[in-house]
Chains A and B, each alone.
Chain A
C-alpha cells in the first residue's frame, strides 16, 4: 500500500478527489446494477408464478387423461381438450404447453382424427422445443403420416434422428418401407434397428421388432 505513510487527512483528501472525478459514473453504475438485479429477480419470480400456474393446470389435465386404463367418455375427452387448450393458449411459452399438445395429439389419434393429430404435432415442432421433445414429435408425426398413408412425408420426418432415438426412427422407417411394399428395404431397416438397439445399454427388449424381423425372413436353401 503506497498510502501507508499518509495521515488520515491526506487520505480523505485523496478520496474526495477520486470521488469528484469518478463519482457520477460510480453512482450510475451501482444504480444500473441494482436495477438489473431487482429486474432479474422480479422477472424470475414472475416466471416461477407462471410455471406454478401452468403446473397446476397440467396436473388437472393429467387427472383426466391418465386416471385409468378405461377409455375416456365424451365428457372427459371434452374437458381434457379444454384444459389442454388453456395450457396451449395461456402458457404457450412453457414446456407444459408442448406436453398439452402431445396429449391433444393422443386424443385425436384415439378419435381417428389424424389431421388434427398432425396439426398438434406440427404445433409442438413450431415452439422450438428441447431436442428430446422435438425428436419425439417428429417420430409421432411420422407415425401419424404413415397411418394416413403419406409415406414420403413420413420418411421426411425421420431424416435427422437425434442419436438416442436412432433405433426407434430406424424401426419406423422399416414399417413405412413395408407399407410401401419394399420388403427388402424394410428388412434391412429392422435389422439395423435391432443392431442399434442392442448397442444401447439400457433399452428393454423389443419383442415386436423381433417378430417383425421373423416375418420378413428369407427361406434358406431355395
Chain B
C-alpha cells in the first residue's frame, strides 16, 4: 500500500488520501493520532470534565480560608486534607451543575456586559478611573490570564442570574408571616418544681462487688495510654549567640527610633458574617445591622460574637482579635478601628473576608521607649542574628548525622551537643516541646517506635529544632482498680440516684396526669417548692433556660383541660416537673414593626435557601457524575 502511494503520488487517489489525512489532522489535532492523551480529570459531570488543576486551585482557596479563620496560631498540619478535598470537590460540582443548568436554559452574559463589569470593578480603579495597568497587574499577581478571568466572571454572572431567578424571586405571604408570628410570639403560663438529685445521691450506696463487677465489665474504658521515655537533642539558635558590643546595640536602637512615631494600639473585637452564594453583600449587611441593633440595645457583644460570628477562631473568645497598630488588619478594617470610639460598635464594614461589626475594646498609647527599655531586646535580637549562619549549618550537620547513626550519642558528641532524657510521657501529657503534636507523632510512628530509628530532625520553629529517639516503651494497659474505684463509685451512685429520681418523677407525673394530684395541692406539701410563670415568651422566661426551651416543646393543653404535664432532666442531674396551663398564640399586630420585619426577612431567607437547595438537588438527581 505504501509502495503504491509512493508510486501514485502524482495520482488523484493519492491526492485524495493525503488531503483526507490533512483534514483529519486539522480537525482533531495530532493527539488523535498519538491516541493516549492521559486523562487529568478529577470528575466528569454530564460529560464535562472537571480538571485536576481546577480542583487543586479550589483546594488551595479553601485551605487559605481555613487558615485565615484559625488566626495567628494557624497550624497547617491540623487541616484534614481529605475533608478539604471532598468539600472543594463537592463545591465545584455544585457550581458546575448550576452553570450547566443555566447555560441549558439560555442564561448568558455578553462579552460587552463582562467588559463593562470589569471597567466598573473598584479593584481595578485608580483615582476613580479604570486603569488597564492595574488590571493587568492584579490579574498577573493572582495568576489569572485575561481570558480565564473573563470566563470566571461570566460564569459568576450567569450563576447569579439563575439563582436570583430561582431563589431571589421567592416571597413571604401574609399568611406565612402571621403563622410564623403565632408560633414565635407565643406566650405560655406554667408551674414547675425541681426534684434535687443531691438528696438521692446522699441516700444511695455502692457495694464493693458492684464496683468490681463494673470495673471488670468496662475494663476497656479504664485503659492507661501508652507511655514513652525519650532521648532527644534540641538545637536552639540562641545557643549559638555571640556577644555583641554596646556600639552596635546603640546604632540599632537609633535605627529603630527613626522608624518609630509615637503611635497608639487598639484592641479589636469583631463579628464576621461571610458573603456567600446564598447571601449577597446587601443581605449580609442587613444581617449585620440586625446584630448591631441588638448590641446597641444593650445585648452583650461578646456573647453575640460567640453565637453568630463566622470567624470561628475569634468567636470562641468573644470576637477578640488582639491589638493592631494600624496595619494588622485589612485597610478598611483598620481605618474603622482607628476612627471608632471605644465601646461603640461600628457600622458594617466590608473586607475580603466578609462583613464585620467592629468594637474597640481598648486603646493603648505607645510612647517612644527609652534606650534602657529596649537595650536587652535589641541585644538579644542582634545576638540571634549573628547566630543564624552557624545555627543553620548545625541543623544540616545534625540532619546528616542522625540519619546515618544508630543512636543519638554519636551525633551529639560530634557536634558537641547534649543528649537529654525525658520522663515517662503519654500523648495527653504536657511536657513542653516534647508534647507538641509533631514530636509525639514522630515518636509514636512505626519507624521510631517499632524500628528503633532516630526521628527526622523536626522543625518546632524557625529557630528551634529537635530530634528524638525512643528509649523505653510502656504499652497501653488497664489502670489498677484502686486508682479508678472512686470514679466508678461516683458514676454508679449517679446512675442509681438518677434512677430513683426518675421513679419519683414518674410517680408524680402519673398522679398529676390522673388528676389525683395538682400543682395547687403540691404547693402545700413542704417537700416541693412550686414556682409559677405567667405568660412568658420564648426569650423572657425567668425559669432556667434549658427548662423554658422544654416548656415550649410541650404539648398544648386542650381547651377545658386543666394542664399538660411533663418531666425534664436538667443538665445538673435534677429533674424538673412542669405543668403547662395556658398557651396564648402570638399575634402579628402585637409585634413591633422591627420585629415583624426581622421575621419576614428570616422567612424570606429560609424560603429562598430552600428553593435553591431543592433546585440543586433536582439537577443533581438527574445529573450523570463520575468521580475519577
Contacts and interface: CB of A to CB of B under 8 A. Distances in A.
B13 interface: yes
Contacts, number: 172
Given A55-B161, A222-B513, A206 B606 contact: yes
B608 to A, nearest CB: 10
A110 B171 contact: yes
B616 interface: yes
Given A146-B175, A212-B183, A132 B166 contact: yes
B42 to A, nearest CB: 20
B557 A130 contact: no
Contacts of B110: 52, 55-56
Contacts of B180: 208
A67 interface: yes
Interface stretch (B101-109, B199-207, B372-380): B101-109
B168 A95 contact: no
Contacts of B614: 132, 135-136, 164-165, 167-168
A106 to B, nearest CB: 4
B618 A135 contact: yes
B280 A66 contact: yes
B175 A99 contact: no
B613 A204 contact: yes
A69 B165 CA distance: 17
A165 B613 contact: no
A69 B106 contact: no
Contacts of B299: none
A162 interface: yes
Interface stretch (A19-27, A30-38, A213-221): A213-221
A214 B182 CA distance: 13
Contacts of B107: 51, 55, 95-96
A221 B509 contact: yes
A159 interface: no
A181 interface: no
Interface in B105-120: 105-110, 112-113
Interface stretch (B27-35, B127-135, B465-473, B547-555): B547-555
A109 B171 contact: yes
Contacts of B12: 8, 11-12, 15
Nearest to B281: A68
A217 B164 contact: no
A103 interface: yes
B281 to A, nearest CB: 9
B113 A59 contact: yes
A136 B615 CA distance: 9
Contacts of B109: 52, 55
B618 A11 contact: no
A167 B172 CA distance: 18
A218 B564 CA distance: 10
Contacts of A212: 183
Interface string B126-166: 00000000000000000000000000000001000100111
Contacts of B556: 215, 217, 219
A52 B108 contact: yes
A66 B168 contact: yes
Contacts of A65: 168
Interface string B279-313: 01011011000000000000000000000000000
Taking chain A's interface residues, is the majority helix, strand, or loop, or is none over half, making it mixed?
helix
A163 interface: yes
A99 B169 contact: yes
Contacts of A164: 614-615, 617-618, 621
B173 interface: yes
Contact of A147 (B164, B176, B564): B176
Interface in A158-182: 162-165, 167-168, 175, 179
B13 A3 contact: yes
- Which of B166, B180, B509, B618 gathers most chain A CB within 10 Å? B618
Contact of B106 (A95, A105, A112): A95
Contacts of A56: 110, 113
B170 interface: yes
B283 to A, nearest CB: 6
A165 B618 contact: yes
Contact of A214 (B283, B552, B621): B552
A11 B109 CA distance: 55
B609 interface: yes
Contacts of B183: 208, 211-212, 215
Contacts of A103: 165, 168-169
Interface string B315-328: 00000000000000
A200 interface: yes
Nearest to A213: B553
A66 B618 contact: no
B175 A132 contact: no
A140 B303 CA distance: 38
A144 B603 CA distance: 15
Interface of B: 4, 11-13, 101, 104-110, 112-113, 157, 161, 164-166, 168-176, 179-180, 183-184, 280, 282-283, 285-286, 509-510, 513, 552-558, 561, 564-566, 601, 603, 606, 609-611, 613-619, 621
Given A105-B169, A147-B176, A222-B564, 18 more contacts: A11-B11, A55-B161, A62-B164, A65-B168, A69-B601, A95-B107, A96-B107, A99-B166, A103-B169, A132-B101, A132-B614, A135-B614, A135-B618, A136-B166, A162-B618, A200-B613, A204-B613, A218-B555
30 contacts: A4-B4, A11-B12, A52-B112, A55-B108, A56-B113, A59-B157, A65-B168, A66-B168, A67-B282, A69-B283, A95-B106, A95-B165, A105-B169, A106-B171, A109-B173, A114-B173, A130-B105, A135-B614, A147-B174, A164-B614, A202-B613, A202-B616, A203-B610, A206-B606, A207-B606, A208-B606, A211-B184, A214-B552, A220-B566, A221-B509
